[in-house]
Amino acid sequence: MLRVYGSLESGNCYKVRLLLRQLGREYEWIEIDILKGESRTPAFLAMNPNGRVPLLEYAPGKHLAESNAILNYLADGTPLLPADPETRARILQWMFFEQYSHEPFIATSRFYLHFLKQPDKYRQALEEKSGPGYGALDVMENHLRRSDYLVAGRYSIADIALYAYTHVAHEGGFDLGRYQAIPAWLDRVKRQPGTIGITEI
């Protein structure tokens, strides 16, 4: 059976759970407490030398890291990752956008505010992340004004990748109320069969 090492507090890990649920795949969940250093133990580093979750064990002793690589692997051959090369490239474009231009600002701000609960300690970092975070949301808003979903007008793993931290952006201090297309898209994603909440297994 598939095994996933992850943290219920992480949006990156939520992506994998959400996809597995929507694909109807069974899996074993192993909770890793990052704040207690459980992703940096010798045993964990032997599985993922980069010391991060989520981590997928897709066969005994075979591990795959990086949430969006895991989504591509698990969705291959399903309607959530169409075979057409142009669509696949466009899905990857949004996923690299997510990891480079979205997650480091929106997810990290949420980590400071929602989990560490230290707005004063991280005030400068939060201010620095605000502009790029809203910049990423602006890019999404502009795109979603013209399309119901991120790629090819249909639900795909690109939507899962961006939904994970966008739907909780307010927990990082971002005001989604200034957008129209993003909230409508969030509703469309939420209504997909099998959608679960961010802390649900």
Contacts with a second copy by CB under 8 A lie at 49-50, 52, 58, 64-70, 72-73, 76, 85-86, 88-90, 92-93, 95-97, 99-101, 103-104, 139, 142-143
CB-nearer residue toward a second copy: 73 or 200? 73
Interior angle at CA 19, CA 149 and CA 109, nearest 5: 75
Residue 122 Cα to chain centre, angstroms: 23
| Residue type at position 116 | L
Residue 115: strand pairing partners: none
The structure tokens listed for 61 are 């002793």
CB-nearer residue toward a second copy: 118 or 197? 118
In whole angstroms, the minimum distance from the beta carbon of 27 to a second copy comes to: 16
CB-nearer residue toward a second copy: 140 or 168? 140
Instruction: Give kind and range of the element (H or E) at residue 104.
Output: helix 103-110
In the chain, the N- to C-terminal Cα span, in Å, equals: 16
In whole angstroms, the minimum distance from the beta carbon of 191 to a second copy comes to: 26
CB-nearer residue toward a second copy: 39 or 200? 39
